[in-house]
Amino acid sequence: MAKPTGFLEYSRLDPDKRTVQERIRDHREIEQMLSPDNLILQAARCMDCGVPSCHAYGCPLFNRIPDWNDMVYAGHWKRALDLLHATNNFPEIAGRICPAPCETACTLGINQPPVSIRHIELQIAERGFDEGWIRPEIGAHATGKRVAVIGSGPAGLAAAQQLARAGHGVVVFEKDDRIGGLLRYGIPDFKMEKRVIDRRLEQMRGEGVRFETGVLAGLDISPRFLSRSFDAILITAGATVPRDLDVPGRDLEGIQFAMAFLAQQNRVNAGDDVPDPISARGKDVVVGGGDTGSDCIGTARRQGAKSVTQIEILPEPPRERHPENPWPEWPNILRRSTSHEEGCDRQWGVLTKGFRGEGGRVRVLECVRVDWSGPDAAGRRSYQEIPGSAFEIKADLVLFATGFVHVEHGPLVQDLGLRLDGRGNIEVDSGFMTSAEGVFAAGDSVTGASLVVRAIWQGRQAAEGIKGFLG
């Protein structure tokens, strides 16, 4: 245990963020680092609660949080790093962008601010890189077996690393021009700069993982070729089909999917020449609710939007946990992201009825306010339009951040004959094998759109399934 009385002596400290004025002038990361002395005191707040819900309930990766808090407090950084890596391939990524369900499950959080788990994780990983402790871990012997990983998001990368370290020959096929999936082209640089991915890829190349970009599996290479050339296939293709809105005016210019907007900015940040990019400069921008919407707000602000409005069909969440949503559950409360701090008008209980434009370009969103009923016997809530509540929002740029439906049902899924579940995700058994022998799947393509830590966990589990399959 870190320090028995630490939680009584020290308050939670969060790392500083760059000021809004400064940070909206660039796309660099916002969060700064706590000093080493302060970090140790934060680790000291972990109180050996006996039933660490952070580890067993909160963290999808089952990170051994109380143990590495103890090690940080005792100055055993290398041991803390090893323990962190025992459950998480990319703690420097989770340490930057995880919404930290571990913290909302921290026992101290019942009546005090929880331990700063996410930031401690980040600093353990960063120290590992600074000290040169993170190097390729080359498998002891080559098995002679080959595995194709389709898709290079966190699920595919975690699986590829685990498999390469077990001695298998791993090739990652990615249809995009760079490796990383949504880490690369979804998540904005102000949350995570892309050098963070590149540093890990360097390690993975050293471990023998081969990366092939610009390859659309299913078309550029056929499922038949994959099956004949590899002993196992892992599909980690994400859930990239966006949810659309079928309302009048949908086809007006200036209405875009959030991912198109975010990916372009990430490409510009990477130094690519993007002809005629979608720009928010000088525009009235309207974005959907949720985290992807929030990433659009920050990006639109940095591009110089005139105004940003975020609309959400759901009602405004409460500021405190509802009694029916007790600790250690994930609290459904109002959250304010760094993008919200940068300025936007947030509106709740708003339904988009249609768009109007001039000269083929969107100018106005036609909306109505909705009232949500309490849950029915099955726990479902429904909404009703409030009579007479119709209103309009001025908009030159509308960004759809309405979520993702499922993995693409293209030739890869079809030709391999993969069974899908009721929501259109790839169905897998307990060993992450799909309905096709030797074909595995993991990440968002199995769960639907989720979180990076869940994708990493799924990738690791699928790697275990493949290792068992390959004997």
Ligand X SMILES: Cc1cc2nc3c(=O)[nH]c(=O)nc-3n(C[C@H](O)[C@H](O)[C@H](O)COP(=O)(O)OP(=O)(O)OC[C@H]3O[C@@H](n4cnc5c(N)ncnc54)[C@H](O)[C@@H]3O)c2cc1C
In the complex, which residues of this chain contact ligand X (CB under 6 A)? 97-98, 150-156, 173-176, 181-183, 186-187, 191, 216-218, 236-238, 240, 262, 291-292, 295, 412, 443-445, 449-453, 455
Smallest distance, Å, CB 336 to ligand X?
A: 15
Smallest distance, Å, CB 263 to ligand X?
A: 9
User: Which residue, among 121, 93, 99, has the nearest Cα to 198 in the 3D structure?
Assistant: 93
Smallest distance, Å, CB 449 to ligand X?
A: 6
> 326 to each of 69, 77, 105, 107, 332, how far by Cα in Å?
25, 34, 10, 12, 10
Smallest distance, Å, CB 67 to ligand X?
A: 23
Structure tokens at 235: 């599909």
Task: Count Cα atoms within 13 angstroms, Cβ side, for 315.
Answer: 13
Give the relative orientation of helices 117-130 and 36-44 as an angle to the nearest 10 degrees: 140
Nearer to ligand X, 134 or 183 (CB): 183
User: Which residue, among 338, 334, 304, has the nearest Cα to 322 in the 3D structure?
Assistant: 334
Structure tokens at 67: 């143990």
For the stretch 102-122, what's the b/e string if a residue is b when 16 or more beta carbons lie within 10 angstroms of its beta carbon?
A: bbbbbbbbeeeebbbbbbbbb
Nearer to ligand X, 255 or 456 (CB): 456
Alpha-carbon span 172 to 152, nearest angstrom: 7
Helix then strand then coil, in percent of the chain rounded to 5, is 35, 20, 45
- AA identity, residue 202: E
Please list, in sequence order, all residues whose beta carbon lies within 8 angstroms of the beta carbon of residue 219, skipping any fewer than 6 positions away.
410, 411
Nearer to ligand X, 241 or 368 (CB): 241
Nearer to ligand X, 24 or 155 (CB): 155
Smallest distance, Å, CB 312 to ligand X?
A: 16
Smallest distance, Å, CB 175 to ligand X?
A: 4
Nearer to ligand X, 431 or 448 (CB): 448
Nearer to ligand X, 114 or 154 (CB): 154
Nearer to ligand X, 71 or 233 (CB): 233
Structure tokens at 351: 């339904």
Smallest distance, Å, CB 412 to ligand X?
A: 5
Smallest distance, Å, CB 401 to ligand X?
A: 8
Alpha-carbon span 441 to 421, nearest angstrom: 13
CB 34 within 8 A of CB 15: yes
Alpha-carbon span 277 to 297, nearest angstrom: 17
Nearer to ligand X, 47 or 441 (CB): 441
Smallest distance, Å, CB 448 to ligand X?
A: 9
CB 96 within 8 A of CB 31: yes
* Structure-token match 């759901």, residue found: 314
Nearer to ligand X, 81 or 183 (CB): 183
